[in-house]
Amino acid sequence: MGGEGIPPEVHDAFDEWLLVLDGELPLVVDNQWFTLSAGEYVVVPRGKTHHVPPGSVGTLLLVDINAPTA
């Protein structure tokens, strides 16, 4: 990550799975803070506001899966 973060976003059409393969991912989902490390994942349900706060630097490798819900 370059330190700038990712601004808040909401996905109304799908859930979003974030799986960290390398590095650390600081993440805020509906005002709840997480720090995910390699091998950890989170599912952000559709309609939930989430963002990566600024300040993170270093290598981050992750898989981002978007899955429509029924």
pLDDT by 10s per residue, the chain, length 70: 667 888 999 999 999 999 999 989 999 999 999 999 999 999 999 999 999 998 777 788 999 999 776 6
d(CA 37, CA 53): 16
Domains: count for the chain = 1
Query: Is 1 within a domain?
Result: no
Query: Is 50 within a domain?
Result: yes
Whole-number average pLDDT of the chain: 90
Structure confidence at residue 1 (pLDDT): 63
Query: Is 19 within a domain?
Result: yes
Amino acid at 31: N
Query: Is 52 within a domain?
Result: yes
d(CA 39, CA 1): 18
CB atoms within 10 A of CB 27: 20
Structure confidence at residue 60 (pLDDT): 87
- The CATH number for 56's domain is 2.60.120.10
pTM of the model: 0.84
Structural domain for 28, as ranges:
6-68
**Main-chain dihedrals φ then ψ at residue 60, nearest 5 degrees:** -140, 125
Query: Is 11 within a domain?
Result: yes
Structure confidence at residue 69 (pLDDT): 66
